[in-house]
Structure formats: C-alpha cells, structure tokens
Amino acid sequence: MRYALAVAAVFVVAACGGAGSSARSSGGPTNVTTTSLSAAQKAANALGRREVRITGCRAGARSLLTVTGNAHNSGPRPASYLIQLRVSSTDGKPLYYTAASARGVPPASVARWTAATAARYDPHMKCEVTSVSRTNG
C-alpha cells in the first residue's frame, strides 16, 4: 500500500509541478489544474521515449511483478528520466500502473531502472511504457 501511495505521489508531483504548469480557476467552487508543455519539453519527452526500453517483465521477489529496463542517454548533457508504465492483460485491459526513474544518466551512457510492484506475476501480462519525461540534469 505504501508503494502505491508513493507512486501516486510521483504522478501528482510530475503532473502538477515544474515549468509549464498552470492553474486555472473555473470561477466555481472547484479549481481545474492543467499542464501544458513547451515545444522543447515535448521534443525532449519524445526523445526520452526513444531512449527508454523495457528489458524484463517477470516475477521478482515473492512472485511479484518486476519491470526492468534501460535508459540510453544519446544527448550531450546528463539526463534524468521519469518512466510511466502500464501492465495489461493479454486482451489489452489495463491491470496496474507503476513508475520508475533513472536520474543523472551521463551522456552516451546507459542506466538500468527497476519498477517493483505489489502485483502477483502472471506470465500473460504485458508491460509497456506509456510516457517518459526527460529533463537535463
């Protein structure tokens, strides 16, 4: 449960914080928060999608699903990656969401990342990257 809350917190921070975020009031009792990315950040995230690969979707400790992968920094400066993942059934139904990160990957280097889950492993599960946020540093 703590892991699920930590992952949820990462998604909230990633969605609401940082440059390019704005909050708009609807004028009513609730506020709507939207996130817009600059063209440069969209390009960086598209590059991040090309640089991130899943290398494993298998049983880890206590037969729980573990997703592993690599982030290859093809840029001239260190880069950090926030990788969001979806685990689906064979028919494409989403079962679980999780996240991983690789921070400060040097130029022309590969970093390994791991996303441990509380999901019981099933060999028919499909793991996929849904989005990558790539930043310099």
Residue 73, domain CATH: 2.60.40
Q: What is the pLDDT of residue 35?
A: 75
Q: Which residues contact 91 (CB under 8 A, 6 or more apart)?
A: none
Cα angle: 118, vertex 124, 125; to 5 degrees: 40
Q: What is the pLDDT of residue 46?
A: 93
Q: What is the pLDDT of residue 36?
A: 86
What is the residue range of 76's domain?
2-136
What is the number of domains present in the chain? 1
Q: What is the pLDDT of residue 30?
A: 64
In this structure, the number of other CB atoms found within 10 A of the CB of residue 35 comes to: 13
Nearest residue to 121 (alpha-carbon basis) of 48, 47, 66: 66
From the first residue on, what is the mean pLDDT of each consecutive set of 10 residues in the chain (137 residues)?
39 39 43 79 92 96 95 96 95 94 97 94 94 92
Tabulate helix, strand, coil % of the chain (nearest 5).
Answer: 25, 50, 25
